[in-house]
Structure 1
């Protein structure tokens, strides 16, 4: 407990848990759900211990008697717990009673949605702001409110961002030495293939095919690559390709495990932006998993050759993994601001904006730039969107690897990722 690093979601819990009877913290294994929830719990029941599952099953009245707040960890191991908590909340709606932490949603068990009784908060791997000891100078929430002050400096440069990409946002992994960290990431992925998929009701008949599909998915990071493109990349040289239904199951189960974190396409209302594409942008939960699947370390990512992923049109590995680090962080900050994250691209590929953040009628447009300097070509899509949305577009931001946050003459804010926070 002494070395706990406060998370952005702690502020969310401070705001809502005293008012809500039950909250479910959802996210992949290893993001820190148990550590965060345990700090608020008077009683902890870890259901990843078989003996505790048996005890808990034999004594359903324990939920009512236990000292509150009660944390039920890995609740999906005993799905009926969800309905037990829901019924307890029906009887007593006082705030701050139950925390449920889960790293998967059970597929087979018929669960009541919990609507109106159990609220959900997503926990992701550590954002950039959560990895640093300094307080970020530029607040995403303030930008959404229309507060335009942007002025600060950072000593972070490209090598530090590359270090963070491979370091991982999983608290238990990022502090390890490089070789041990790589082994831990390999073990994490191995557990997904050999155990977690099985626990979700799907036995992987060909682990090698799933690993190849995961690697191809990693190669598609930050792109809207089609299903066919990803499948072809996973089966280069294979005459015995996995079927489309098989790989759709891979996607669906990994989504249930919170390991895929797609950004959906933006659906603007009341404005003509041409024909928007509908495909989501692909992301794994942690950029370090994508880098490891592609066997890229800091040296490789910083090399002049800058590995291409699924083709020249998709960009380079470093550029797309940096965008993944930005997307992970923006997701966390946007959730704290009660905002949604999406992306925009028209079907012709003429205009695209990497990230769109919306809340209460306000909209931010964000471009991601793997460079320290920004020129007019880097903001053309942002300015095009401003021309069409007018005052509906609250602000335009380019997130960079530079040293200084400032506002350009055309009003676009240039913000190094290290300076952006909730």
Structure 2
């Protein structure tokens, strides 16, 4: 068994768990929730084991009697667990008592939201900074706080990022040999289609149709493609298409399994940026799943950059999947910085910013470029946004595949992705 690799969320837990009585770690299967939670546990109850479900059901007082901290793994398999923990916190709100790890929303919802008693943290596949050995030299949190320092060099080049796209951020998959990793990713999708969706109360009547829809959704990575266009791409040549309610059910159940991780559209406050698109950008939980669903490995991504993708955003598969890898990492980094991640696009598509990190009145704008160099054309949308936002835009950066972090004469920062961390 490999040694535990510290995660960004460990810093969050170290900071808040001693003060909070109960925290729910939400995320798809295989991201490492159990390993992270168990490192803080005096007791672990694994509800993916029938005998522990039976024991826990027969004696709910275990919630309060068990030595703390108590980790309840796959708690959604016994939804009343949520209310048992909530009531225990009502009686004793001292910090550091409960960690709930869940890989799906419960089929039957708890009777109470848990607001004020149970705090939720999202856990995702490994961000890039959690995968590499060297320490990033540019901090997203520092940039949000107005630190203009942008320095550092890396020897990472495009093939390194392509390797990370296909390697996966699931800890149990990424270090497998290439063929075994592809089989593991295939198995992950098969489990979702044949087992996990059924456990969520949804019977998949046409598994091939769902797989085709997932492949089309993968093709919409980093885009605001409509769900109609995704369905059309999934059913080319089919006269008998799934109904709209069926595809909505796909989306809803896959979201309950934390397999879809869209980036919401930015709703700017206090600044007029024209008519703003409200469509979210599509992302699967891990860009390696998207690459595998499209049958794209390292050599294919490097050789066939013009693989057809879906949606109004420009870019071939490699560029869109690279943005997916950046987005996965930024989701982790902004959560650590107590910020929110979104994207901006006006309705005409005239102006577009790949990613927006926002905390309070502070806004950091990011463009993602699959290139080692940055031209004036690459920063035109960032400069447009700065003209309209003034000091509220604390910084603007372009995330690249280059080797050196620096700041351009126009003030825009250029940061190789391998140098950017929480």
What is the TM-score normalised by the length of structure 2?
Answer: 0.99
**CA offset digits 1:115-163 (Å, max 9, x no partner):** 0000011000000000011110000000000000101100110000000
**1:203 aligns to what?**
203
Q: Is the 1:308–1:314 contact (alpha carbons within 8 Å) kept by the matching residues of 2?
A: no
Number of the residue aligned with 1:328: 328
- Matched-pair contact (CA < 8 Å) for 1:308–1:315: no
Query: Secondary structure of the residue that 1:335 maps to in structure 2?
Result: helix
Q: 1:3-25 deviations in whole A, cap 9, x for unaligned?
A: 00000000000000000000000
Partner in structure 2 of residue 181 of structure 1: 181
Which sections of structure 2, spanning at least 5 residues, go unmatched?
Answer: none
* Residue aligning to 1:253: 253
Query: Counterparts of 1:2 and 1:304 in 2: how far apart (Å)?
Result: 35
Aligned to 1:51: 51
Distance 1:305 1:173 in 2: 25
Compared CA separation, residues 207 and 260, structure 1 to 2 (3 A): same
Q: Do the aligned partners of residues 2 and 299 (structure 1) sit closer, same or farther apart at CA in structure 2, a change above 3 Å counting? A: closer
Give the drift of 1:110. Answer: 4.0
Q: Secondary structure at the match of 2:355?
A: strand
CA distance in structure 2 between the partners assigned to 1:326 and 1:10 by the alignment: 20
1:306 to partner: Cα distance? 2.9
Q: Contact (CA 8 Å) 1:74, 1:102: kept in 2 or not?
A: yes
**Cα distance in 1 between the residues matched to 2:73 and 2:344:** 37
Superposed, which structure 2 residues align to 1:358-369 within 5 Å?
Answer: 358-369=358-369
Q: Is the 8 A contact 2:182 2:292 kept in 1?
A: yes
1:120 corresponding residue in structure 2:
120
Question: Counterpart of 1:100?
Answer: 100
Evaluate the alpha carbon distance shift between residue 223 and residue 313 of structure 1 in structure 2; reply closer, same or farther with a 3 A threshold.
Answer: closer
SS of the residue aligned with 1:13? Answer: helix
Q: Is the partner of 2:116 in helix, strand or coil?
A: coil
Which ranges in structure 1 are unaligned for 5 or more consecutive residues?
Answer: none
1:24-81 residue CA offsets vs partner (Å, 9 max, x unmatched): 0000000000000000000000000011100110111111111100000000000000
Q: Does residue 319 of the first structure (1) align with residue 319 of the second (2)? A: yes
Q: How does 1:182-331 map to 2 (within 5 A)?
A: 182-310=182-310, 314-331=314-331
Q: Distance in 2 between matches of 1:233 and 1:217?
A: 9
8 Å contact 2:405–2:413 — kept in the other structure? yes
Secondary structure of the structure 2 residue equivalent to 1:116: coil
Q: Compute the RMSD of aligned alpha carbons.
A: 1.0
Equivalent in the alignment of 1:343: 343
- 2:379 alignment partner in structure 1: 379
SS in 2 for 1:159: helix
- Cα gap change, 1:153 to 1:416, in 2 (>3 Å): same
| Count of equivalent residues | 422
Q: Contact conserved, 1:150 with 1:405, CA < 8 A, in 2?
A: yes
Q: Distance in 2 between matches of 1:68 and 1:52?
A: 17
Aligned equivalent of 1:91: 91
What is residue 17 of structure 2 aligned with on the other side?
17
Cα distance between partner residues in 2 of 1:258 and 1:305: 29
| TM-score, normalised with respect to structure 1 | 0.99
- Kept in 2: contact 1:41–1:68 (CA 8 A): yes
| Deviation digits for residues 344-398 of structure 1 (CA, Å, limit 9, x no counterpart) | 0000000000000001211100000000000000000000000000001000000
Contact 2:223 2:310 in 1 (8 A): no
Consecutive aligned runs of 4 or more in structure 1 exceeding 4 Å deviation: none
| In 2: Cα distance, 1:362 partner to 1:7 partner | 26
Label 1:415 to 1:205 Cα distance change in 2 as closer, same or farther (>3 A): same
Tell me, yes or no, if the aligned pair for 2:223 and 2:312 is still in contact at 8 Å: no
Structure-2 change in CA distance of 1:393 and 1:64 (3 Å):
same
